[in-house]
Amino acid sequence: MTALILQHGESGPPGVLGDWAAARGIELEIHHAQSGAPLPALNGRDFIASLGSPHNPADVHIPEVAAELSYVAQAIARDIPVLGLCFGGQMLAKALGGEIEKAPQPELGWHTVDSLAPEVVPPGPWLQWHYDRFTVPPRAELLATSAAGPQAFIHGRHLGVQFHPESTIEIVRSWARSDQDRVRALGIGDGEALLERGRRHATAARSAAFDLFDAFWRRTRA
């Protein structure tokens, strides 16, 4: 069993998704999409996971973004399951005909997610770090929401979420440091403090992430 991970920078590793895959005996191949190297062949993939990114799927003037959008569309056409996480969820939504738009307010740190299907998407709090959002694509089923909009959808064997089940406080801390001027300009305060404020949620979030990935995996095997 082999899955392909599309990683967008050293600061966005598979994290908890990697731990889950190791526990389930799933081999991961990591492709560093930001490098601009040709994307691997789609053949033989049990699923593809697209992780977070500083870019937006609408940034098709960036060659690697345009290439990934086409790649995800090809995977969908071949019914290779796609798991989209934050940017990856936006990428999946865009490839399925949804839209990417500025969120009414950024979601940074720990945020409550209201699940319409807790057996697939456990309710939050979940770690978040995004300024944009997706619309639910045509013929997709909305699975979860927050005050900022849609948080998860399913389309066939594909699952997209706006939050970061794969990330830990330690991973997101580097994003908070990179974005500190932007966060302060928004009047939100200290991004690292937002993360630490929710540390009590970290153990439950890791367990919930395993449940979410298991639900996706079962659907890919059905």
Please write the tens of the pLDDT for every residue from 97-118: 999 999 999 999 999 999 999 9
Structural contact between residues 63 and 26, judged by C-beta atoms closer than 8 angstroms: no
Cβ neighbours of residue 91 closer than 8 Å, sequence gap 6 or more: 50, 57, 68, 69, 72, 84
Cβ neighbours of residue 32 closer than 8 Å, sequence gap 6 or more: 7, 8, 9
- Spell out the per-residue pLDDT of the chain, length 222, in tens: 799 999 999 999 999 999 999 999 999 999 999 998 999 999 889 999 999 999 999 999 999 999 999 999 999 999 999 999 999 999 999 999 999 999 999 999 999 999 999 999 999 899 999 999 999 999 999 999 999 999 999 999 999 999 999 999 999 999 999 999 999 998 888 999 999 999 999 999 999 999 999 999 999 988
Mean pLDDT of the chain: 96
pLDDT tens digits, one per residue of 132-161: 999 999 999 999 999 999 999 999 999 999
Measured distance CA(129)–CA(191) in Å, rounded: 10
The pLDDT > 90 percentage for the chain reads: 93
Number of domains in the chain: 1
- Active centre residues (catalytic): 86, 164, 166
- Domain ranges, residue 192: 2-221
Closest CA to 40 of 67, 16, 19, 66: 67
Structural contact between residues 85 and 75, judged by C-beta atoms closer than 8 angstroms: no
CATH of the domain at 71: 3.40.50.880
Measured distance CA(60)–CA(51) in Å, rounded: 17
Measured distance CA(89)–CA(72) in Å, rounded: 11
| Distance between start and end Cα atoms, the chain | 15
Cβ neighbours of residue 139 closer than 8 Å, sequence gap 6 or more: 96, 155
The pTM of the full predicted model, rounded to 2 decimals, is: 0.97
Question: Is 11 buried (19+), middle (13-18) or exposed (0-12) by CB count in 10 A?
Answer: middle
What pLDDT is stored for residue 209 in this prediction? 98
